[in-house]
Structure 1
Amino acid sequence: MFWTILLPYCVTFVLGNTTDERIPFFHGHVFENSPPGSKVNGLSIPVKRIDPQRWCSKSGMHLKLLGDRSEDFHVFAHHRRGHILLKTSNVLDREERAEYFLSVALCCQSCASAERVVAEVASIKVDVLDTNDHEPTFQHADVKITLDDATALRSVVYTVKAEDIDSGKNAELIYYALPRNGSFYIVPKTGDILLVDSILGLAQPIKFSVFARDHGWPARTSQKMDIAISPRQWPALPQLDNGLSRKSRSVPEPVLITVSEDASIGSVIMNLHPVRFQSASFELIHPDADNSPVTVSRDSGDLVISRRLDRETQPLVEITVKVQDKRGECAVTYPNICTIRLYALVPFPPVQYVTVSPARADFT
């Protein structure tokens, strides 16, 4: 019983000196780009915690900062409050250095040299907090894409990527495109450019600009990245005999076209209007409208998808369209024949070509 009571006192006596020698730790922060003389927030060291009388009983106390880049700060004692504080000596840049590990040293008469330091009395960590002082940047100024016009809808045709060297929300980016167009959509969080509407039959490139904006305050926006997407039509497929070869020139040869099974309803596959006639009418002869996945506009000659295509169940669609001049003449070059036979074929997977500048890197 006697030893049970006495043992804790013995342990405390033996370890007491070690506990007293432990250097107290303090933590503070300051925002980057703050002017010199800015106070390090959250950092206040009570003078009594460092016990200066223990080291300098007869002379005055002097403080000195030690550690890598300690010259970026200066330490001073606030005598009214009885605390030791830190202020910046220079403008800090978080991208250059995000944190400092320093020590407060004590000198008894002066701190003119390192030899006068009698003790390190406190350990300090200072975090340099980020301000939104950088805008997002793209690696390339423009991107040129050659995209097969039969590309499946909802396909990712390209992914833009910007970088922001800030941190936290200041580096979280969203993407958007201007001017808005109905064919492509950019996913704000990922930068994926999606094909959302058919580009079948489009001859001119689709041009728009992409921007990146961060979540900082105030928000910063990147310079534009120009995007140009040029539709590429599939080459004509070899003519299919399929038992439909013509024995007479009185029947025109079929026109072969390709179309993606993911082409949206209402997409224009092609225009049948002959150049020779300024006024013509068009009529779908075979199959009837209820059984055909495409329709033809009577006045414009636009061949339009009317229902979803399925390559697995119907890989080949044959239609016959009657084209006649509204003045009563035949609209095709064959005498007394006013029909054009067309095939609508579901294509193989599309091909995409991308060119980026100024790096001139090509991807296939």
Structure 2
Amino acid sequence: MKLGKVEFCHFLQILALFLCFSGMNQAELSRSRSKPYFQSGRTRTKRSWVWNQFFVLEEYMGTDPLYVGKLHSDVDKGDGSIKYILSGEGASSIFIIDENTGDIHATKRLDREEQAYYTLRAQALDRLTNKPVEPESEFVIKIQDINDNEPKFLDGPYTAGVPEMSPVGTSVVQVTATDADDPTYGNSARVVYSILQGQPYFSVEPKTGVIKTALPNMDREAKDQYLLVIQAKDMVGQNGGLSGTTSVTVTLTDVNDNSPRFPRRSYQYNVPESLPVASVVARIKAADADVGPNAEMEYKIVDGDGLGVFKISVDKDTQEGIITIQKELDFEAKTSYTLRIEAANMHVDPRFLSLGPFSDMTTVKIIVEDVDEPPVFTSRLYSMVVSEAAKVGTIIGTVAAHDPDASNSPVRYSIDRNTDLERYFNIDANSGVITTAKTLDRETNAVHNITVLAMESQNPAQIGRGYVAITILDINDNAPEFAMEYETTVCENAQPGQVIQKISAIDKDDPPNGHQFYFSLTAEAANNHNFTLQDNKGDVTPYL
């Protein structure tokens, strides 16, 4: 016959009652001789209370008061002259005593988990005099435990992590269940653990609650999380024991057990030759099933004819390899490049070196596309010279430009008139020959900086620019001039030979060896013998 939880508890209660009645003589109070005790003027021996501990079963479900035990004094002859009283914890409210017989009963259902024992005091009184016939003495009523509490996981549910690929038996986490029943009595609080869900991947130690891995080589990339259900059962796991459960979420943490892998063995990208230096040509990415630092990688160009033209770096956020241009591209010089690129993990776990190299290779081909480029001059700056005496139409020099494209389209020339507002020069549209268009004057403008435009005849929107510096050579085409108008005064008593004025001259021309002026008096002044002129190699000093 199977008993349910309630029926089993009642069975234990009936059994305990039987044991209480069968051992009543041991629970009854008896007397032993001690030092003298005086009562009513007569000398007699003091009688002490001696007892065994009382027990009462918790969670009694009956309707009648539960018999606890019996107090009895040897003085009591059964004639009703002795009455018994209780005091202390729970007296009258929980425990009552039949004052005639000394029988003690519990009037309420008791819970050992709330209070495990009660300390009371008993006394036997003479009913007529109300005086004690025995000394007052303490005794304890202990609440006998039954298995009425299931184990509980107070810290659940649990979360834990364990590295993937861990060996069998690696500890994951320890779970602990507590049972409110009496651990010192029977097996009511003796818990064993078992796993209800999570096999065959994990196991649990029955006595300690330590969860361990049970399968080798669990792969996070295949499954990264497991939900375990752990049971704790009291009564050492026997039938009739109570149980509680908790959940444990176990996450496999990543280790670097996967190599980077390019999705393709080769890639091809087309880029225009006009792309500026430092521009991004392409982004490639090697896939890595790991995460976090274990998926971090670096890229490098290990071979190919584009080693000096391109470089590759890593985008730390996306782990992509970024290919950029280091030098200008020229379709006419080279139309394609081939790069051999390697992706390698930055943090390699030595435990998994046997799995192979943690790197991968791919080939990237870069096709350079032709772009219609403007004409290019043979020189960035042309320097030319012409005399200011040159006649209109004199040839000064020639500029040359060509179309760098494969089509080599013919070029036509013109002068940017914003740099030649006075239109001093002309250029032949076909030959690039520059000639004078006006008389030049070095003293007005010694150097002319003009911009020459070269346009493709098939695409006039493609315009190249060349720069020409034209220096005007000087000729002696300007007479000397006095530096200023002179007005000189002289005292009437000035002495002969006294300097009265220094004069000088200037010349707008710029001869290579500098100016040399010669001074003389005009004919009218030469007839005046009061003054003379002394030439000081450029400066003149007139004398009296």
Q: Residue in 2 aligned with 1:7?
A: none
Q: For 1:208 and 1:318, locate their aligned partners in 2 and report how far apart those are by CA, in whole Å.
A: 31
Alpha-carbon separation, structure 2, partners of 1:195 and 1:260: 22
- State the partner residue of 1:143: 158
- Cα 1:255–1:37 change in 2 (3 A) is same
Contact 2:301 2:342 in 1 (8 A): no
Which residue number in structure 2 is paired with residue 31 of structure 1?
A: 57
The 1:122/1:144 distance shift into structure 2, 3 A limit, reads closer
Structure 1 residue 149: Cα displacement = 1.6
2:151/2:177 contact within 8 Å kept? yes
- Give the number of equivalent residue pairs: 242
Q: After superposing the two structures, state which structure 1 stretch, 140-149 or 244-253, moved more.
A: 244-253
* Residues 71, 104 of structure 2: 8 Å contact kept: no
Deviation at 1:146, TM superposition (A): 3.8
Shift in CA distance, 117/78, structure 1 to aligned 2, threshold 3 Å? closer
Look up the match of 1:294.
none
Letter in 2 for 1:213: K
Verify the 8 A CA contact 1:32 1:128 in the aligned structure 2. Answer: yes
Looking at structure 2, the residues matched to 229 and 66 of structure 1 have their Cα atoms a distance apart, in angstroms, of 57
Letter of the 1:158 partner, please give it: V
Q: Does 1:215 align with 2:249?
A: no
Aligned pairs for 1:9-158 within 5 A: 16-17=35-36, 20-34=46-60, 35=62, 36-40=64-68, 43-48=69-74, 51-52=75-76, 60-71=81-92, 72-76=94-98, 84-109=102-127, 119-120=134-135, 123-158=138-173
| Displacement of 1:129 | 0.7
Q: CA deviation at 1:195?
A: 1.9
SS in 1 for 2:203: strand
Percent identical residues: 17
Q: Is the 8 A contact 1:150 1:233 kept in 2?
A: no
Aligned residue in 1 for 2:249: 228
Q: How far does residue 120 in structure 1 lie from its aligned partner after superposition?
A: 3.9
Q: CA deviation at 1:139?
A: 2.2
Q: Do structure 1's residue 319 and structure 2's residue 337 form an aligned pair?
A: no
Structure 1: any 5+ residue segments left out of the alignment?
1-14, 262-308, 310-315, 322-331, 336-364
Match status 1:202 vs 2:222: yes
**What is the one-letter code of the residue matched to 2:174?**
T
Which whole-Å CA distance do the structure 2 matches of 1:159 and 1:260 have between them? 29
TM-score (norm 1): 0.54
Give the drift of 1:77.
7.1
Aligned to 2:176: 161
Alpha-carbon shift at residue 94 of structure 1 (Å): 0.8
**Residues 140/46 of structure 1: CA separation in 2 closer, same or farther (3 Å cut):** closer
SS at match of 1:66: strand
Match of 1:271 in 2: none
Cα contact 1:135–1:164 (8 A) shared by 2: yes
User: Highest Rg: 1 or 2?
Assistant: 2
Higher RCO (C-alpha under 8 Å, 6+ residues apart): 1
Compute the displacement of 1:95 (Å). 1.3
Q: Residue type of the partner of 1:62?
A: K
1:170 aligns with 2:218: no
Distance in 2, matches of 1:147 and 1:102, equals 56
SS in 2 for 1:128: strand
Once the two structures are overlaid, the 10-residue window that deviates more, 119-128 or 163-172, is 119-128
Q: Shift of residue 119 of structure 1? A: 4.5
**Cα 1:320/1:119, change in 2 over 3 Å:** closer
Q: Counterpart amino acid of 2:91?
A: S
Contact residue 64 and residue 105 of structure 1 kept, 8 A: yes
* 1:163 match: secondary structure: coil
3-state DSSP of counterpart to 1:317: helix
Looking at structure 1, the residues matched to 47 and 137 of structure 2 have their Cα atoms a distance apart, in angstroms, of: 11
In structure 2, relative to structure 1, the CA distance for the partners of 1:215 and 1:139 (3 Å cut) is same
CA contact (8 A) 1:150 1:259 kept: no
Measured in 1, the distance between the counterparts of 2:250 and 2:232 equals 19
1:256–1:65: structure 2 CA closer, same or farther, 3 Å change rule?
A: same
**Relative to 1, partners in 2 of residues 1:145 and 1:260: Cα closer, same or farther, differing over 3 Å?**
farther
Q: CA RMSD in A?
A: 4.0
**Structure 2, unaligned runs of 5 or more:** 1-33, 38-44, 256-292, 305-338, 365-544
Distance apart, 1:257 and its partner CA: 8.6
Q: Give 1:258 deviation, angstroms.
A: 6.0
Task: Kindly state the Cα deviation for residue 252 of structure 1 after the two structures are TM-superposed.
Answer: 5.5
Aligned CA distance change for structure 1 residues 110 and 70 (closer, same or farther; 3 Å):
farther
Are the counterparts in 2 of residues 202 and 231 from structure 1 also a CA contact under 8 Å?
no
